[in-house]
């Protein structure tokens, strides 16, 4: 199958799911708990004074990449990474919530590995629910969100170990629109649908010194200009019974082209360096199983798997998360 067929087919599924999400509604509530899918966030904000923690444990395995024409190629040595991510949400009012996320990562490739566990980038944001759902869930919930990612992860001066890179050095602003809807299936069980579209404009230029996440050599000094980013995801959760549910995310991620400029010094000489990183696309899906202990505690486990892309690593990413409302 060609890259173009992958792209249009995948986006067609996203569009169909979004259309269903916008047009269907639940006639009456059926007893069912949902933890949430792996990737697509909730458009419904927390009640005022409510705290939600959702720690993730993520394992990433990559042994290949998608080339400029979308063809899959094997790559050796591969890469392995363990990562923890801890999102924290707090309801300021019934429509406004704050979000904070932090974590750490440890990677290995061939015989090399990260020096300890490195902090990843940190994000802080807020979400406002423009349209709340009604009591009988016959209208969708719609929210707008803003988040800022701080470059707390290492990205340059990596002491000759590129695996120590756990960030990209950029301050990134992200604007999102979120939608959530319930539908009733013919068997009477509810399905919850979500769609999120996020956009990040190009951040300010990032200073880069020495060995870095951008494959620069030890005596490099310069800057990198990153492109914009677009992320679209649609999720479906099907309630088997009150406690068990199945989930599926479909996601598309795109990073715009970036430019690296600088010099490599050596003795009394300096060599100019200029490199362009092409834009990157990745299509993935994330099937998962949810177990809800009650309406406040649930567990979701599954894997995000790349299915097509361009100039991006191919990957499989098993993960598990514990959702706790306090």
Residues 184-211 have a mean pLDDT of 94
**Does the pLDDT at position 95 exceed 70?**
yes
Tell me how many degrees the CA angle 286-290-296 measures, rounded to the nearest 5.
Answer: 130
Dihedral class, residue 59 (left if φ above 0, else alpha if ψ from -120 to 50, else beta):
beta
Which pLDDT score, from 0 to 100, does residue 131 have?
95
Confirm if 294 and 18 have CB atoms less than 8 A apart: no
Contacts of 188 (CB under 8 A, 6+ apart): 30
How is domain 3-325 classified at the architecture level of CATH?
Beta Barrel (2.40)
pLDDT tens-place string over residues 24-77? 433 334 578 999 999 999 999 999 999 999 999 999 999 999 999 999 999 888
- Please give the residue that has the higher pLDDT: either 145 or 18: 145
Checking if the pLDDT of 5 tops 60, the result is no
Q: What is the mean pLDDT of the chain?
A: 89
State the average pLDDT over residues 169-197.
Answer: 95
- Give the Cα separation of 301 and 289 in Å (integer): 6
pLDDT at 134: 83
pLDDT at residue 13, rounded to an integer: 47
Q: Give the C-alpha distances (Å, rounded to integers) separating 70 from 15, 82, 224.
A: 22, 27, 25
Determine the pLDDT at residue 159.
80
**Closest C-alpha among 101, 129, 122, 125 to residue 42:** 129
CB 236 within 8 A of CB 191: yes
pLDDT at 2: 46
Kindly state the average pLDDT of the residues 195-220.
94
The pLDDT tens digits of the residues spanning 283-319 come to 999 999 999 999 899 999 999 999 999 999 999 999 9
With CA atoms as reference, report the closest residue to 235 among 192, 277, 278, 269.
192
Looking at residue 196, what is its pLDDT? 98
**Residue 29: its pLDDT value, please?**
43
Tens digit of each residue's pLDDT (9 = 90 or more) over 218-277: 899 999 999 999 999 999 999 999 999 999 999 999 999 999 999 998 877 888 999 999
Question: What is the reported pLDDT for 9?
Answer: 52
What stretches of 92-228 adopt beta strand conformation (E)? 96-109, 112-113, 118-119, 122-131, 141-150, 172-184, 190-200, 206-209, 220-225
Residue extents of the structural domains in the chain: 3-325
- Per-residue pLDDT, 26: 36
Rounded Cα–Cα distance for residues 258 and 274 (Å): 11
What pLDDT does 18 receive?
A: 46
Q: What is the pLDDT of residue 76?
A: 84
> In 3D, which of 200, 183, 201 has the Cα closest to residue 192?
183
User: Is residue 128's pLDDT more than 60?
Assistant: yes
């Amino acid at each position: 199958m060609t890259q173009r067929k992958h792209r249009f087919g995948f986006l067609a599924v996203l569009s169909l799911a979004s259309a269903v999400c916008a047009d269907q509604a639940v006639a009456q509530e059926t007893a069912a708990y949902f933890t949430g899918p792996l990737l697509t966030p909730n458009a419904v904000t927390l009640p005022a004074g409510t705290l939600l923690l959702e720690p993730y444990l993520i394992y990433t395995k990559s042994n290949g990449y998608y080339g400029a024409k979308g063809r899959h190629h094997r790559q050796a040595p591969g890469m392995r990474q363990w990562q923890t991510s801890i999102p924290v949400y707090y309801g300021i009012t019934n429509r406004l919530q704050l979000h904070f996320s932090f974590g750490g990562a440890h990677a290995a490739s061939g015989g090399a590995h990260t020096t300890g566990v490195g902090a990843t980038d940190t994000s802080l944001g807020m979400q406002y629910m423009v349209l709340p759902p009604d009591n009988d869930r016959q209208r969708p919930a719609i929210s707008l969100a803003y988040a800022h990612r701080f470059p707390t992860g290492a990205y340059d001066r990596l002491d000759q170990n590129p695996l120590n890179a756990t960030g990209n050095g950029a301050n990134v602003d992200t604007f999102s629109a979120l939608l959530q809807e319930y539908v009733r299936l013919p068997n009477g069980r509810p399905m919850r649908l979500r769609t999120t579209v996020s956009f990040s404009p190009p951040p300010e230029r990032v200073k880069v010194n020495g060995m870095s996440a951008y494959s620069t050599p030890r005596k490099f000094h310069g800057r990198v200009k990153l492109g914009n980013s677009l992320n679209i995801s649609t999720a479906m959760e099907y309630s088997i019974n009150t406690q068990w549910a199945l989930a599926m995310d479909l996601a598309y991620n795109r990073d715009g082209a970036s430019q690296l400029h600088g010099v490599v010094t050596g003795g009394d000489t300096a060599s100019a360096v200029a490199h362009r990183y092409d834009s990157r696309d990745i299509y993935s899906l994330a099937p998962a199983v949810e177990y809800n202990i009650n309406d406040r505690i649930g567990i979701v486990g599954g894997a995000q798997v790349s299915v097509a892309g361009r100039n991006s690593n191919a990957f499989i990413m098993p993960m598990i998360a514990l959702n706790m409302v306090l």
